[in-house]
Amino acid sequence: MTSDEYNDCGPVSGWDLHCHTVFSDGTKTPAELIDLACTSGLHGVAITDHDTTAGWREAQQAAESQGFPLLRGSEITAQDGHVSVHMLAYQYDPENEGIVELFRSTRQARLERARRMVTRLSKDFPITWDDVTAQTKKGENTTVGRPHMADALVAAGFYRTRSEAFAGAISSSSKYYIPTPSPTALRVVQVVRLAGGVSVVAHPCDYSRNRVLLSNEQIGALADAGLGGLEVWHRGNGTEERERLLGLARELGLLVTGGSDWHGDGKPNKLGENLTADDVVAQIVERGAIPLVS
Protein backbone atom coordinates (compact mmCIF):
# COMPACT_ATOMS: atom_id res chain seq x y z
CA MET A 1 0.00 0.00 0.00
CA THR A 2 1.15 3.54 -0.56
CA SER A 3 1.74 5.93 2.33
CA ASP A 4 -1.43 7.91 1.68
CA GLU A 5 -3.49 4.79 2.38
CA TYR A 6 -2.46 4.95 6.04
CA ASN A 7 -3.26 7.27 8.92
CA ASP A 8 -2.28 7.35 12.61
CA CYS A 9 -4.46 4.27 13.20
CA GLY A 10 -2.98 2.25 10.35
CA PRO A 11 -4.51 1.26 7.00
CA VAL A 12 -7.68 3.13 6.04
CA SER A 13 -8.94 0.10 4.10
CA GLY A 14 -8.39 -3.61 4.42
CA TRP A 15 -9.27 -6.50 6.72
CA ASP A 16 -10.35 -6.80 10.35
CA LEU A 17 -8.31 -9.73 11.69
CA HIS A 18 -9.56 -9.85 15.30
CA CYS A 19 -13.22 -10.79 15.76
CA HIS A 20 -15.09 -12.95 18.29
CA THR A 21 -18.44 -14.72 18.04
CA VAL A 22 -20.83 -16.66 20.26
CA PHE A 23 -18.43 -19.60 20.15
CA SER A 24 -16.31 -17.75 22.72
CA ASP A 25 -17.12 -14.41 24.30
CA GLY A 26 -18.84 -12.58 21.45
CA THR A 27 -22.56 -11.89 21.20
CA LYS A 28 -23.10 -12.49 17.47
CA THR A 29 -23.01 -15.68 15.43
CA PRO A 30 -20.35 -16.24 12.77
CA ALA A 31 -23.04 -15.72 10.12
CA GLU A 32 -23.96 -12.37 11.70
CA LEU A 33 -20.28 -11.40 11.70
CA ILE A 34 -20.07 -12.11 7.98
CA ASP A 35 -23.31 -10.23 7.28
CA LEU A 36 -22.04 -7.16 9.13
CA ALA A 37 -18.61 -7.34 7.54
CA CYS A 38 -20.19 -7.45 4.08
CA THR A 39 -21.89 -4.11 4.70
CA SER A 40 -18.98 -2.44 6.54
CA GLY A 41 -16.71 -1.81 3.58
CA LEU A 42 -14.17 -4.39 4.72
CA HIS A 43 -12.11 -6.35 2.20
CA GLY A 44 -12.34 -9.42 4.42
CA VAL A 45 -12.53 -10.57 8.03
CA ALA A 46 -11.07 -13.17 10.41
CA ILE A 47 -12.88 -15.23 13.01
CA THR A 48 -10.65 -15.53 16.11
CA ASP A 49 -12.61 -17.08 18.96
CA HIS A 50 -10.74 -18.09 22.11
CA ASP A 51 -9.09 -21.52 22.09
CA THR A 52 -11.49 -23.07 19.58
CA THR A 53 -12.29 -23.70 15.93
CA ALA A 54 -15.94 -24.46 16.69
CA GLY A 55 -17.23 -21.45 14.75
CA TRP A 56 -15.17 -22.04 11.63
CA ARG A 57 -17.72 -24.14 9.75
CA GLU A 58 -20.58 -21.66 10.19
CA ALA A 59 -18.31 -18.76 9.27
CA GLN A 60 -17.05 -20.59 6.19
CA GLN A 61 -20.56 -21.45 5.03
CA ALA A 62 -21.69 -17.84 5.44
CA ALA A 63 -18.60 -16.45 3.70
CA GLU A 64 -18.92 -18.86 0.77
CA SER A 65 -22.61 -18.12 0.35
CA GLN A 66 -21.90 -14.39 0.10
CA GLY A 67 -18.58 -14.61 -1.71
CA PHE A 68 -16.88 -12.74 1.11
CA PRO A 69 -13.21 -13.45 2.00
CA LEU A 70 -12.55 -15.07 5.38
CA LEU A 71 -9.43 -15.96 7.33
CA ARG A 72 -9.83 -18.70 9.93
CA GLY A 73 -8.06 -18.28 13.23
CA SER A 74 -8.19 -18.39 17.02
CA GLU A 75 -7.00 -16.33 19.97
CA ILE A 76 -4.92 -18.30 22.46
CA THR A 77 -4.14 -17.09 25.98
CA ALA A 78 -0.50 -17.63 26.91
CA GLN A 79 2.13 -16.49 29.39
CA ASP A 80 5.68 -15.16 29.03
CA GLY A 81 7.22 -14.79 32.46
CA HIS A 82 4.87 -12.51 34.39
CA VAL A 83 3.24 -11.13 31.24
CA SER A 84 -0.11 -12.43 29.98
CA VAL A 85 0.14 -12.78 26.21
CA HIS A 86 -2.73 -13.26 23.79
CA MET A 87 -1.69 -14.96 20.59
CA LEU A 88 -3.69 -14.78 17.36
CA ALA A 89 -3.18 -17.89 15.23
CA TYR A 90 -4.23 -17.87 11.58
CA GLN A 91 -4.69 -20.44 8.80
CA TYR A 92 -3.36 -23.45 10.69
CA ASP A 93 -4.44 -27.06 10.16
CA PRO A 94 -7.26 -27.56 12.70
CA GLU A 95 -6.69 -31.33 12.73
CA ASN A 96 -3.02 -31.09 13.68
CA GLU A 97 -2.45 -33.20 16.82
CA GLY A 98 -0.46 -30.47 18.56
CA ILE A 99 -3.10 -27.78 18.12
CA VAL A 100 -5.92 -30.16 19.08
CA GLU A 101 -4.17 -31.04 22.34
CA LEU A 102 -3.32 -27.39 23.05
CA PHE A 103 -6.96 -26.38 22.74
CA ARG A 104 -8.15 -29.35 24.80
CA SER A 105 -5.87 -28.41 27.68
CA THR A 106 -6.47 -24.66 27.51
CA ARG A 107 -10.24 -25.04 27.33
CA GLN A 108 -10.21 -27.36 30.33
CA ALA A 109 -8.05 -24.91 32.29
CA ARG A 110 -10.38 -22.05 31.35
CA LEU A 111 -13.41 -24.03 32.48
CA GLU A 112 -11.91 -24.90 35.85
CA ARG A 113 -10.78 -21.32 36.42
CA ALA A 114 -14.23 -19.99 35.47
CA ARG A 115 -15.91 -22.30 37.99
CA ARG A 116 -13.56 -21.11 40.74
CA MET A 117 -14.25 -17.46 39.92
CA VAL A 118 -18.00 -18.01 39.98
CA THR A 119 -17.66 -19.65 43.39
CA ARG A 120 -15.92 -16.50 44.64
CA LEU A 121 -18.47 -14.21 43.04
CA SER A 122 -21.41 -16.15 44.45
CA LYS A 123 -20.33 -15.26 47.99
CA ASP A 124 -21.25 -11.61 47.34
CA PHE A 125 -23.57 -11.81 44.32
CA PRO A 126 -26.53 -14.22 44.02
CA ILE A 127 -25.38 -15.81 40.78
CA THR A 128 -24.67 -19.49 40.12
CA TRP A 129 -22.74 -21.52 37.58
CA ASP A 130 -26.03 -22.18 35.80
CA ASP A 131 -26.60 -18.41 35.54
CA VAL A 132 -23.22 -18.06 33.84
CA THR A 133 -23.65 -20.96 31.42
CA ALA A 134 -27.10 -19.60 30.56
CA GLN A 135 -25.26 -16.66 28.96
CA THR A 136 -23.47 -18.93 26.48
CA LYS A 137 -25.05 -19.26 23.06
CA LYS A 138 -23.54 -22.55 21.89
CA GLY A 139 -23.56 -24.67 25.05
CA GLU A 140 -20.50 -26.87 25.45
CA ASN A 141 -19.08 -25.52 22.18
CA THR A 142 -18.69 -22.11 23.82
CA THR A 143 -15.39 -21.23 25.49
CA VAL A 144 -16.66 -19.96 28.88
CA GLY A 145 -14.91 -16.93 30.36
CA ARG A 146 -15.22 -13.66 32.21
CA PRO A 147 -17.56 -12.09 29.63
CA HIS A 148 -20.21 -14.68 30.47
CA MET A 149 -19.80 -13.91 34.17
CA ALA A 150 -20.21 -10.23 33.34
CA ASP A 151 -23.35 -10.96 31.34
CA ALA A 152 -24.77 -12.96 34.25
CA LEU A 153 -24.20 -9.99 36.55
CA VAL A 154 -25.89 -7.70 34.01
CA ALA A 155 -28.84 -10.09 33.74
CA ALA A 156 -29.13 -10.09 37.53
CA GLY A 157 -29.27 -6.29 37.56
CA PHE A 158 -25.93 -5.52 39.20
CA TYR A 159 -24.45 -3.73 36.19
CA ARG A 160 -25.93 -2.06 33.14
CA THR A 161 -23.40 -3.34 30.62
CA ARG A 162 -20.65 -5.90 30.20
CA SER A 163 -18.09 -3.07 30.18
CA GLU A 164 -19.32 -1.85 33.57
CA ALA A 165 -18.95 -5.36 34.98
CA PHE A 166 -15.41 -5.55 33.62
CA ALA A 167 -14.63 -2.28 35.36
CA GLY A 168 -16.06 -3.69 38.58
CA ALA A 169 -16.36 -7.24 39.89
CA ILE A 170 -14.92 -8.86 36.77
CA SER A 171 -11.83 -6.63 36.70
CA SER A 172 -8.44 -8.32 36.79
CA SER A 173 -7.72 -6.24 39.91
CA SER A 174 -10.82 -7.40 41.81
CA LYS A 175 -10.74 -9.88 44.67
CA TYR A 176 -12.75 -12.34 42.58
CA TYR A 177 -10.21 -12.54 39.77
CA ILE A 178 -8.19 -15.70 39.12
CA PRO A 179 -5.55 -15.71 36.36
CA THR A 180 -6.09 -18.16 33.52
CA PRO A 181 -3.61 -21.09 33.65
CA SER A 182 -1.89 -20.77 30.30
CA PRO A 183 0.79 -22.36 28.11
CA THR A 184 3.92 -20.38 27.47
CA ALA A 185 3.92 -17.99 24.52
CA LEU A 186 6.93 -19.88 23.18
CA ARG A 187 4.98 -23.15 23.17
CA VAL A 188 2.05 -21.51 21.36
CA VAL A 189 4.32 -20.08 18.67
CA GLN A 190 5.94 -23.48 18.16
CA VAL A 191 2.65 -25.41 18.08
CA VAL A 192 1.06 -22.98 15.61
CA ARG A 193 4.14 -23.10 13.39
CA LEU A 194 4.13 -26.90 13.34
CA ALA A 195 0.41 -26.79 12.47
CA GLY A 196 1.26 -24.66 9.44
CA GLY A 197 -0.20 -21.44 10.86
CA VAL A 198 0.91 -17.86 11.39
CA SER A 199 1.06 -16.51 14.96
CA VAL A 200 0.66 -12.84 15.88
CA VAL A 201 0.90 -11.22 19.32
CA ALA A 202 -2.44 -9.50 19.98
CA HIS A 203 -2.53 -5.99 21.51
CA PRO A 204 1.03 -6.34 22.88
CA CYS A 205 1.13 -2.85 24.43
CA ASP A 206 -2.24 -2.67 26.16
CA TYR A 207 -1.53 -1.45 29.71
CA SER A 208 -5.12 -2.20 30.73
CA ARG A 209 -4.21 -5.88 30.44
CA ASN A 210 -0.64 -5.83 31.75
CA ARG A 211 1.19 -3.39 33.99
CA VAL A 212 4.41 -4.76 32.52
CA LEU A 213 4.59 -5.23 28.76
CA LEU A 214 6.54 -7.71 26.69
CA SER A 215 10.11 -6.45 26.34
CA ASN A 216 11.94 -6.13 23.04
CA GLU A 217 14.02 -9.13 24.10
CA GLN A 218 10.94 -11.26 24.78
CA ILE A 219 9.43 -10.39 21.40
CA GLY A 220 12.77 -11.09 19.76
CA ALA A 221 12.90 -14.56 21.33
CA LEU A 222 9.40 -15.32 20.04
CA ALA A 223 10.43 -14.10 16.58
CA ASP A 224 13.41 -16.47 16.67
CA ALA A 225 10.97 -19.31 17.46
CA GLY A 226 8.75 -18.51 14.47
CA LEU A 227 6.43 -15.68 15.53
CA GLY A 228 4.78 -14.23 12.43
CA GLY A 229 3.68 -10.75 13.42
CA LEU A 230 2.54 -8.07 15.84
CA GLU A 231 -0.94 -6.59 16.12
CA VAL A 232 0.11 -2.94 16.02
CA TRP A 233 -3.21 -1.42 15.02
CA HIS A 234 -5.40 -2.01 18.07
CA ARG A 235 -7.19 0.46 20.34
CA GLY A 236 -5.19 -0.79 23.35
CA ASN A 237 -1.80 0.23 21.92
CA GLY A 238 -0.84 3.86 22.55
CA THR A 239 0.80 6.06 19.92
CA GLU A 240 4.32 5.81 21.34
CA GLU A 241 4.05 2.07 21.77
CA ARG A 242 2.81 1.67 18.22
CA GLU A 243 5.99 3.37 17.03
CA ARG A 244 8.01 0.97 19.15
CA LEU A 245 6.16 -2.02 17.69
CA LEU A 246 6.58 -0.79 14.12
CA GLY A 247 10.32 -0.46 14.72
CA LEU A 248 10.50 -3.97 16.15
CA ALA A 249 8.52 -5.38 13.24
CA ARG A 250 10.95 -3.82 10.77
CA GLU A 251 13.96 -5.04 12.74
CA LEU A 252 12.69 -8.59 13.21
CA GLY A 253 10.94 -9.05 9.87
CA LEU A 254 7.49 -9.43 11.41
CA LEU A 255 4.13 -8.76 9.78
CA VAL A 256 2.11 -5.78 11.03
CA THR A 257 -1.58 -6.49 11.56
CA GLY A 258 -4.62 -4.67 12.88
CA GLY A 259 -7.97 -5.65 14.30
CA SER A 260 -10.90 -4.31 16.24
CA ASP A 261 -11.13 -7.06 18.88
CA TRP A 262 -14.85 -6.98 18.07
CA HIS A 263 -17.25 -8.85 20.35
CA GLY A 264 -20.59 -7.56 19.10
CA ASP A 265 -22.79 -5.93 21.75
CA GLY A 266 -21.58 -4.86 25.18
CA LYS A 267 -18.16 -3.50 24.26
CA PRO A 268 -17.26 -0.23 22.53
CA ASN A 269 -15.03 -1.87 19.89
CA LYS A 270 -16.45 -1.29 16.41
CA LEU A 271 -15.98 -3.78 13.60
CA GLY A 272 -13.29 -2.43 11.26
CA GLU A 273 -12.02 0.29 13.58
CA ASN A 274 -8.45 -1.02 13.05
CA LEU A 275 -7.38 -2.82 9.91
CA THR A 276 -4.77 -5.02 8.26
CA ALA A 277 -3.43 -4.21 4.80
CA ASP A 278 -4.28 -6.49 1.88
CA ASP A 279 -0.65 -7.37 1.16
CA VAL A 280 -0.16 -8.54 4.76
CA VAL A 281 -3.22 -10.79 4.51
CA ALA A 282 -1.83 -12.21 1.26
CA GLN A 283 1.37 -13.16 3.06
CA ILE A 284 -0.58 -14.86 5.87
CA VAL A 285 -2.55 -16.87 3.31
CA GLU A 286 0.63 -17.79 1.41
CA ARG A 287 2.30 -19.05 4.60
CA GLY A 288 -0.76 -20.84 5.98
CA ALA A 289 -1.71 -24.50 5.73
CA ILE A 290 -5.32 -23.97 4.62
CA PRO A 291 -6.79 -21.90 1.78
CA LEU A 292 -8.52 -18.57 2.01
CA VAL A 293 -12.31 -18.84 2.13
CA SER A 294 -14.08 -16.67 -0.45
What is the tens place of the pLDDT at every residue in 176-205?
999 888 999 999 999 999 999 999 999 999
Contacts of 122 (CB under 8 A, 6+ apart): 128
Q: What are phi and psi of 56, to 5 degrees?
A: -60, -45
User: Is the predicted pLDDT of residue 2 greater than 50, yes or no?
Assistant: no
Q: How many CB atoms lie within 10 A of CB 40?
A: 12
Inter-residue contact 214 to 186 (CB < 8 Å): no
Task: Name which of 284, 270, 276, 238 is nearest 257 in CA terms.
Answer: 276
Q: Exposed e or buried b for every residue in 238-267, given b needs 16+ CB within 10 A?
A: eeebbebbbebbeebebbbbbbbbbbbebb
Beta pairing class for 15-16 and 10-11: unpaired
pTM above 0.95, yes or no: no
- For residue 266, the model assigns a pLDDT of 81
Gap between the Cα atoms of 153 and 130, Å rounded: 12
What SS3 state is found at 118?
helix
Please say if the pLDDT value at position 120 is more than 90: yes
Q: Encode pLDDT of 201-242 as tens digits.
A: 999 999 888 778 999 999 999 999 999 999 999 999 999 999
Helices (H), 122-238: 129-133, 146-155, 162-167, 185-194, 216-225
Residue 247 has pLDDT above 50, yes or no: yes
Helix (H, G, I), strand (E, B) or coil at 205: coil
Q: What confidence tens digit (pLDDT) does each residue in 39-63 have?
A: 999 999 999 999 999 999 999 999 9
Q: pLDDT for 127-146, tens place per residue?
A: 999 999 999 888 888 888 89
pLDDT of residue 15: 98
Q: What is the largest CA-CA distance in the chain?
A: 56
Polymer length of the chain: 294
258, 14 Cβ separation under 8 angstroms: yes
Residue-level pLDDT at 87: 97
